[in-house]
Structure 1
């Protein structure tokens, strides 16, 4: 459905989402409508909405559908201002003198993204006396102090499902890049070299390898489906089992005990949210129990890994390759050790912010804002904090 919605957006959207009413109507048909019952209720009148997005600079003009940047601001400025709301957009989010900090005391809605996260601390929540709603344009709201948000009666929501295809495709790409030892080969070409042996001695086929995903939610399931044609041995660990019919179709095996599954894997993919239970999940001890030469892909959250333990294991060869687009913190400082460790294929946080993903999460944010103004509920799966309660995946 999201894919169909994306195609509809691509046909109708230019530099603004003001023409997205067909998609908005489609979304309204999909989900039941009821009265909003959050603790800090929406009140009538003009709202001050602040969005924090990365700057695109010269790239903003290169694609009219590049909606996720500060310059395009999700394409909702005209729509918001036509209804009398104030819309402030910035990329300046850090420190007491930042542009974001100036607006904290009187904003009503804060829109953030995982790609250029504005860290919403308990201190900021305390200062935000008018704040009612925190929206994540994308998936993953761990840059927000969710307990503080719940205690303050705020609603936290994200555009669930908006970039799952984008991330799952990116994970598959990273698996292939690592197992075929692609990056050193590309670097040879850039450097004017030609040494096939230096690449081939650690390049393998994906077929027949055991791939395990830690987490088999929306992204994990899509990845498993995409791996099926490669004839891998597929394992997954999660709180809940996949639907039996889908599990049989994919040919994936459920592993209840994470520490039993991990040593079996040639390739491990992280697909679990960052919670207090998963923070530092892959520490030195757990990594030491993995198969020597394991490949790891992590597009979930950087803090799930012990940073130095990953560096040490890549340096020793225990981890033969590590790839992902998530760091701790973000943006990653220039001296972050993952930039310089051997056998990595890291990128900035890009997997969920493809143009197609941006079209979907921009439309989803607009739809939720429209419901917020009308005092209506969001789609249930979009809530991360509602009525003082956290979604189950964050417990």
Structure 2
């Protein structure tokens, strides 16, 4: 390795238990060039180091980055070992100039870790969501924080729609009856309803939340939302949206509540015992945003008491969730590991976007404004619209 080499430290989730590469179900994926809001999909220079549709989000996939990084004479270290002072991540962090992490297997860049990462200049999220980085500490240290904005918004939105239908129609228990050889129709339908006519409310209507609303409109639900920045009146009219000035107003109205807002100090544990008490009995709660938006044990109490009918999502705290986490076994849950935003389709986009950002960084050209979260010691780009430093 040349003395001028710079270290890129990349944290990805582990390979499939059955080995890598897997046997792919499909030969290709659709090409998405432009997102619904007009933003272009990632446009790296030259072909990416992978075939779209491949599993590149795990350790052996390496986001397809090895050839590019090593062609510049730099060092690429890829690991899923992020826990504890003797982890691979902590051992290599002090010399890292770039840290790449997924929100799906986050390397938590705490203030303490940032203080030890004297050479760190770029914290890059391969995907969307940078709250695993202490943004205030990063700003003070002059570290640029970037993410591949928009790359998996539709992936998560589709997951939310799936969860809405799965919970309200009581799909998961019904499938279990079928799988176990039963024919328990009465038990299947005693908790099964139509979504038509229900009130659906999303707390947060950014890229993902708005995509959810658009996809649910044809189902005949009454649609509600709340967020800091009110949507354009034309969008409200198009989707017949009802705006609420705060989350409390929304949860009093909704039959289905969806969390789609960023995590920062003022939104931590937004949903707690007091907020559950304001919901209609039998409300469904969906969370594909961040685990710490809800108080863990309050969710368990609300489900067990029947105050909420079911809870589903794929975000936890901490991640990976410990085996004894109560959400794994509480009744009427539709939880999955944090996977909604890392479909093979999404991976093609966020891996390409990661390459695009690295090419800008190493090439000394500006990173796209929409990819920026922190830059120049302050919130920037998408970060200025979505996050708070306090």
Q: Tell me whether the two structures share a fold, i.e. TM-score over 0.5.
A: yes
Superposition deviation, residue 59 in structure 1: 4.8
Partner Cα separation in structure 1 for residue 142 and residue 264 of structure 2? 20
> Shift of the alpha carbon at 1:170?
0.3
**Structure 2 equivalent of residue 117 of structure 1:** 106
Q: Could you tell me which residue of structure 1 aligns to residue 37 of structure 2?
A: none
1:53 aligns with 2:12: yes
1:156, distance to aligned residue in structure 2 (A): 0.5
Q: CA deviation at 1:236?
A: 0.4
Unaligned runs of 5+ in 2: 25-50
Choose from 348, 357, 362 the match for 2:346: 357
Structure 2 residue aligned with 1:210:
199
Say what the alpha-carbon RMSD is for the aligned residues: 1.2
Structure 2 distance, partners of 1:202, 1:89, is 45
CA distance in structure 2 between the partners assigned to 1:343 and 1:76 by the alignment: 41
CA separation in 2, counterparts of 1:298 and 1:172? 12
For residues 106-154 of structure 1, give each alpha carbon's deviation from its aligned partner in whole angstroms, at most 9, with x where no partner exists.
1100000011111111111111111100000001111111111111110
| In 2: Cα distance, 1:219 partner to 1:197 partner | 36
Shift of 1:251: 1.5
Report the alpha carbon displacement of residue 370 of structure 1 after superposing the two structures with TM: 0.3
CA distance in 2, matches of 1:378, 1:59: 35
Distance across 2 between alignment mates of 1:264 and 1:254: 11
How far the C-alpha of 1:190 sits from its partner, in A, is 2.2
CA contact (8 A) 2:126 2:354 kept: yes
2:31 matched to which residue of 1?
none
Q: Matches of 2:314 and 2:179 in 1, distance apart?
A: 22
Q: Which residue of structure 1 aligns with residue 135 of structure 2?
A: 146
Instruction: Report what 2:315 is aligned to.
Output: 326
Contact 1:210 1:235 in 2 (8 A): yes
- Specify the alignment match of 1:106 in structure 2: 95
Cα contact 1:60–1:69 (8 A) shared by 2? no
Deviations 1:247-270 (A, max 9, x none): 211121211132112111000000
- Contact 2:226–2:244 (CA<8 Å) still a contact in 1? yes
Deviation at 1:387, TM superposition (A): 1.1
Mean CA deviation greater in 246-255 or 53-62: 53-62
1:77 aligns with 2:66: yes
Aligned pair count reads 352
Decide whether the 8 Å contact of 2:227 with 2:246 is kept in 1: no
Q: Distance in 2 between matches of 1:359 and 1:230?
A: 30
Say if 2:131 and 2:264, in contact at 8 Å, map to a contact too: yes
For residues 326 and 373 of structure 2, the distance between their equivalents in structure 1, rounded to whole angstroms, comes to: 32
TM-score by length of 2: 0.88
* Residue 132 (structure 1) aligned with residue 92 (structure 2): no
Measured against aligned partners, the alpha-carbon deviations of 1:196-246 in whole angstroms (never above 9, x if no partner) come to 111211111111000000000000110000011001100000111112222
- DSSP-derived class of the 1:309 partner: helix
> How many angstroms apart in 2 are the aligned matches of 1:337 and 1:255?
32
1:279 is aligned to 268
2:257 to 256, 259, 268: 268
Q: Is 2:313–2:336's contact at 8 Å kept on the other side of the alignment?
A: yes
**Which of residues 153, 156, 160 in structure 1 aligns to 2:149?**
160
Q: Helix, strand or coil: the match of 1:308?
A: helix
Structure 1 residue 191 displacement after superposition:
2.1
Report SS of the residue matched to 2:138: helix
Give, in whole Å, the separation in 1 of the partners of 2:233 and 2:248: 23
Q: Is the 8 A contact 2:127 2:152 kept in 1?
A: yes
Contact 2:95/2:118, CA 8 A, preserved across alignment: yes
Q: Which sections of structure 1, spanning at least 5 residues, go unmatched?
A: 1-43
- After TM superposition, the score normalised by the length of structure 1 is 0.87
1:45 CA displacement: 4.7
2:318 and 2:85 mapped to 1: Cα distance?
18
Partner of 1:91: 80
Residue in 2 aligned with 1:374?
Answer: 363
Give the conservation status (yes or no) of the 8 Å contact 2:199–2:221.
Answer: yes
Residue 221 of structure 1 corresponds to 210
